[in-house]
Amino acid sequence: MLCRMVLLPRKKKTGTVPVYLNVYDLTPINGYAYWLGLGIYHSGVQVHGVEYGFGAHDHPSTGIFEVEPRQCPGFTFRKSILIGRTDLGPKEVRSFMEKLAQDYSGNSYHLITKNCNHFCNDVCIKLTGKTIPRWVNRLARLELNETKVRQVRSQTNVKAGDKKKLRSRSSRLLSTSNAGIMPPRAYPSAFK
């Protein structure tokens, strides 16, 4: 029996203006780690000749910033990846960034759960309907998974410790207060 597979075209946002993800190395070790699918990266989204990024600071004001494309200070440029295209004009992109600034304050930055790569992913989805490549933020995902495993293990250990305490308390209660407990009443069996 033959199966016929029908592939429906996926809805993709198309436009005329290219949207690039600019990826930077945070450490020289990336030169080796990159080929193993690992690394620590900073990223920014380039559209209309402006690169938008997200970074940490101690204030509740926005952590979103603009730089010259491929020139983010403090990082070594690695590569530029075409994510897709958008029809949003420069003013619309700027307006979108201003709205996004409410969610991306500098003091909300978190290396594992809300970093520059998360920001770029959100921007790329909005502008193109596509996500950034998974390898760009792989280290945060690996660290997040490891943290979750540690939390589950510590919760399991706490629960096991609580059970031991409960067991030891209940056996102490029974052994110390057995003299005061009445034996169960003998009920006549209804099913003789």
Catalytic residue among 42, 118, 120, 124: 42
Please check whether residue 135 is in contact with residue 78, taking contact to mean a CB–CB distance below 8 angstroms.
Answer: no
116 an active-site residue? yes
Residue 110 annotated as catalytic: no
102: tokens are 């409410």
Q: At residue 107, what is the residue type?
A: N
Q: Compute the distance between CA of residue 72 and CA of residue 52 in angstroms, rounded to an integer.
A: 10
Rounded Cα distance between 174 and 39, Å, is 58
Q: Whole-angstrom distance between the N-terminal and C-terminal Cα of the chain?
A: 63
191's tokens? 């099913």
The secondary structure of 97-155 as a DSSP string is HHHHTTT-BGGG-BTTTB-HHHHHHHHHHHHHS-PPPGGGGHHHHHHHHHHHHHHHHHH
Give backbone dihedrals phi and psi of 53, rounded to 5 degrees, phi first: -135, 175
Tell me how far apart the alpha carbons of residues 83 and 64 are, in angstroms, rounded to a whole number.
20
Catalytic residue of the set 116, 118, 120, 124: 116
Catalytic residues: 42, 116
